[in-house]
């Protein structure tokens, strides 16, 4: 777990660097060392593998996540190792294709399947590579959304969201669902749509979005924001009208155990989950 935490911390630091134009030489030196360390963790097979966290040892989830953020660093800021990107992309393509159930064009056999598929899609879109695999990943992610084709209806608090991507969930059941998975998958789908619409007018790009998809995602976000106009009750909530509203978000009202906040009991309303700031 320590190794995984280190990778996450450095990945977050990389994101900070991308938007920061600091003149502090010490910061620049520190960031350069961090990025150098990150690239040094790349294995000969092109992947990044956890040395401590079993579910991340195969590199299928870590590699697209780490590579995506390394690719965002301008090359005039940091020169990438020779062949490093190419080896990583080949690792991603190889591992995704070897994990597929080809009869369904699915990537259900990956660890953290929806995270892996989302970041693999973002990498391929950013590099403008393997359009066929981009489509397979995008189709997989669209199939994974908790909406009508999975037996989830508007009155369900999971409606419109995405989760871990557990295989073989019965029709009408949602499994784990949260804002973190939903955010990253929506970002990936937007980037794929933009890549397909490259060269088109912005109005054509906007029209290419499925309005049903947009409405379903919006409804999910209203749920985790606990919007006053959303009448759906989550477990432990008996009435929405007396719950406080602060405009913030929680991780999930479908998978309550994933929230980092302590629920507060309110008379005649039940349990309220206060908004909080978190990476998830």
3-state secondary structure 160-209: CCECCCCCCCCCCCCCCCEHHHHHHHHHHHHHHHHHHCCCCCHHHHHHCC
What pLDDT score was predicted for residue 238?
93
Structure letter (DSSP) for residue 143: H
Q: How far apart are CA 165 and CA 177, in angstroms?
A: 9
Model confidence, pTM: 0.85
pLDDT for position 189: 94
Rounded to the nearest 10 degrees, what angle do helices 84-99 and 131-144 cross at? 50
The Cα 63–Cα 88 span in angstroms is 7
Give dist(CA 121, CA 13) in Å, integer. 22
Q: Which CATH architecture has domain 2-232?
A: Alpha/alpha barrel (1.50)
Q: Tell me the Cα Rg of the chain.
A: 20
Mean pLDDT (10-residue bins), the chain, 280 residues: 59 61 75 93 95 88 96 91 96 86 60 91 96 92 95 97 92 95 95 81 57 92 92 94 90 95 93 84
* CA–CA distance, 163 with 107 (Å, rounded to integer): 14
Tokens of 44: 């000969």
Instruction: Specify the pLDDT at position 56.
Output: 87
What ranges do the domains of the chain cover?
2-232
Residue 107: per-residue pLDDT = 60
The Cα–Cα gap between 100 and 113 comes to 11
| pLDDT of 12 | 65
Q: Judge whether 90 and 97 are in contact, CB under 8 Å.
A: no
pLDDT of residue 229: 87
Token pair belonging to 52: 């401590």
pLDDT at 257: 94
């Amino acid at each position: 777990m320590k190794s995984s935490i280190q990778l996450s911390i450095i990945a977050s630091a990389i994101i900070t660097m991308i938007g920061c134009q600091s003149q502090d030489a010490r910061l620049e030196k520190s960031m350069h060392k961090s990025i150098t360390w990150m690239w040094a963790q790349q294995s000969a097979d092109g992947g990044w593998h956890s040395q401590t966290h079993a579910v991340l040892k195969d590199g299928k989830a870590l590699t697209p996540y780490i590579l995506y953020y390394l690719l965002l660093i301008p090359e005039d800021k940091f020169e990438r190792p020779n062949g490093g990107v190419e080896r990583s992309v080949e690792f991603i393509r190889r591992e995704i294709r070897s994990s597929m159930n080809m009869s369904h064009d699915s990537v259900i056999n990956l660890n953290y399947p929806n995270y892996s598929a989302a970041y693999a899609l973002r990498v391929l879109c950013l590099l403008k590579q393997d359009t066929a695999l981009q489509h397979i990943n995008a189709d997989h992610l669209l199939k994974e959304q908790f909406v009508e084709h999975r037996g989830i209806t508007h009155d369900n608090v999971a409606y419109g969201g995405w989760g871990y991507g557990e295989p073989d969930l019965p029709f009408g059941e949602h499994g784990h669902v949260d804002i973190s998975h939903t955010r990253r998958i929506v970002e990936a789908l937007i980037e794929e749509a933009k890549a397909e619409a490259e060269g088109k007018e912005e109005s054509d790009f906007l029209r290419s979005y499925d309005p049903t998809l947009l409405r379903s995602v919006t409804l999910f976000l209203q749920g985790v924001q606990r919007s006053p106009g959303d009448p759906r009750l989550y477990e432990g909530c008996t009435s929405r009208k007396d719950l406080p509203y602060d405009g913030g978000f929680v991780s999930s009202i479908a998978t309550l155990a994933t929230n980092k906040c302590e629920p507060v009991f309110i008379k005649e309303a039940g349990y309220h989950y206060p908004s909080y700031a978190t990476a998830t």
